[in-house]
Amino acid sequence: MKKHNYSAGPCILPQEVFDQSAQAILNFNDSGLSILEISHRSKDFVAVMEEARALAIELLGLEGKGYQALFLSGGASLEFLMVPYNLMKENGKAAYLDSGTWATNAIKEAQFFGETVIVASSKEANYTYIPKDYEIPADADYFHCTSNNTIFGTQMKSFPKTNVPMVCDMSSDIFSRVIDFSQFDIIYAGAQKNMGPAGTTLVVIKESIIGKSGRTIPSMLDYAKQVKAESMYNTPPVFPIYASLLTLKWIKEKGGIAALEKLNNAKAALLYNEIDSNPLFKGAAREEDRSTMNVTFLLTNPEHTETFDQMWKEANISGIAGHRSVGGYRASIYNAMPIESVQVLVDVMKALASKI
């Protein structure tokens, strides 16, 4: 029986994507070859790359606005390095919002390149909220934020107004809600949390920001060279890009980001309502900053842990254990998670309350 997969990433993907990917592994486009063995320079795969890049731009509403989409390797963690390499000038300055573990890791990489200003942090509260009312230095080369914090279950509900170029790590909530994506100069996201399998990273970059750092950048880390090569500077991760394309096509078929946002809000409301109304549970993140992608919650009495764990496992639920930084539980309800699966978890929580 198919499990209800709440894993934070690699995560659940649409069943259609699994089915189509499986067929492509056996015989891609009736070529007699597997997607795993075709040349990345073949006509068939070049078409995949071109469609994936174009569709990402289309879904984000950035057509005709001077943006390029890249599918790169190294995960979002490599972008922690590439962003300052490409945007921070010699003797320059970057501004960062510290809202969680991955933001902290991005800050560490930026500090190798120059002055890195932390404009605000919620570390003292174990990242249970998103910092607000901070000032971004006007002379910063860029401002970096993380839209959704997978580990702690918090999400930025709005973004600052600034004349400084803005960079956003959207690894765990990209394509999940309608945003004015044109306010960002760079958006990046590891595919494995809401877009595809592990192995590729989507980078959406405004062309006008490229090549202004004054630095000599190694070729593989140079956005200008990657854009010029159309994501084919070296052999790209063929299969993860193909599966990501299938997921992007699924998003479009479902009605685009707006349609998925409506469903995501309904799933989150269903689960948070149970957390707030059931006396055996409590939310881990502050209510105003709760993520619609990663729902973190705790038992009010840890003595019920063994019983609850047994119940959700018997209900065929997987991947719900919380990160060690928070404890408790984390239900990742990405785009492909059906609301029926969320109802299964809610029913288990209700059953626990009846049992205790």
Positions marked catalytic: 102, 169, 193
Do residues 140 and 117 lie in contact, with contact meaning Cβ atoms separated by under 8 Å?
A: yes
Alpha-carbon gap, residue 33 to 17, rounded angstroms: 19
Start-to-end Cα distance in the chain: 28
Closest CA to 317 of 279, 272, 347: 347
Instruction: Determine if the peptide bond prior to 279 is cis (ω within 30°).
Output: no
Q: What is the dihedral of CA 209, 63, 255, 2, to 10 degrees?
A: -50
The length of the chain, given as a count of residues: 356
Which residue blocks in the chain are alpha helix, DSSP H?
Answer: 15-26, 43-59, 75-87, 101-110, 223-228, 238-253, 256-277, 305-314, 339-355
- Minimal CA–CA distance to 226: which of 91, 105, 74? 74
Are the C-beta atoms of residues 6 and 318 closer than 8 Å to each other? yes
Q: How far apart are CA 334 and CA 161, in angstroms?
A: 28
